[in-house]
Structure 1
């Protein structure tokens, strides 16, 4: 079971008025927004460490703009490195960029990204810019296919370096590729989803990818249950692994 967060808290995003659609309802809950659990005390950023980490991440990103470690780099429009706070207490890891992400150079900006943003801002009630979002591979696979093993092998060290720099308190993996890469495991996502795992000493919560939820709305309830465990972690509450 993960420990309690001890960093200085920031004020959560104010709750929506009852009756307004919330991300909690979008991921399966039928209660009003006012009755939903949310992160009450999200750790505040350390300005000094934030600037230091920003420089480290920028230095790591710079050579990747000309990266040809796998053939995905030959056809990209933009590198999709990562976005958010360089000292984020919460990090989301997805699979790879889609067409919209490739066009804009930012992860999770398409329909799946809109759902992720709602999960963060309306479900967890924290700001998207206060978390960090990245993918296993930084260039778009053609036709949005699943990254191949050699592409993951070539690019995953960049993700691991991002995690090493940011040192999040919790990682949420989105989808099977992210879970298998971060956890270095071949276990199926349906077996491990919703159970606490570890990346080194960092607690990891594997869950479904937002794109999967768009295709399978019934799975939204499962994701909300997973997010409630993340909420319990940050609120310092008991939560069974």
Structure 2
């Protein structure tokens, strides 16, 4: 409202530190009221919101409205703000549906980002739509710019499993290198997710069992207890139940490389 009676306004200093800050830049007003909007992400637990300028006058290029506080002309470097109506709007958190999930291998499925009707969606697949259709698996991330200008991010992880009419056999790698470089650090069935149950044991060349696993997520890190095993050839024996409930055994050897 440009007809506000500025002469009735007193100036005072609020001794507060902002919990959150709008870093979009300095807003300069010369004639009319300006709609100030921005995105603020609360840390949680705040009981108030403080709006204003927390810079020194010498650091602020804001003009004073004529007539405010008895002034009749513009003066630069005066950081006065006059507030009328204030609307605080909560922006929903971003998320993707379905959440972390398992899908049939090579099948197509849809991932949808929320909230809906945002200004833009940018996926790590280079897609720019709210929903994407893919037959890939792995990590999917979307960056969302809301209509209020807020930037949000969400991600999900998609795994695959075999869903065909014929169950694949259990596959065991023939080598691994547990040196903590993030590549082949563990020995485990490569397609355990296709099975109902997997149980396997590892033996050294003396016939001593150095590891046993009893779940689909079991893996050997190349240790016997808390000691590193020597490089060399080890032997595995596995019992597993395939996707149709048929029991099998599998044995072979694996090279531990250091």
TM-score range for the pair, normalised by the shorter chain length: under 0.3
Structure with greater strand percent? 2
Q: TM-score, normalised by structure 1?
A: 0.20
Q: TM-score, normalised by structure 2?
A: 0.19
Structure with greater helix percent? 1
Instruction: Please identify the structure whose Cα radius of gyration is greater.
Output: 2
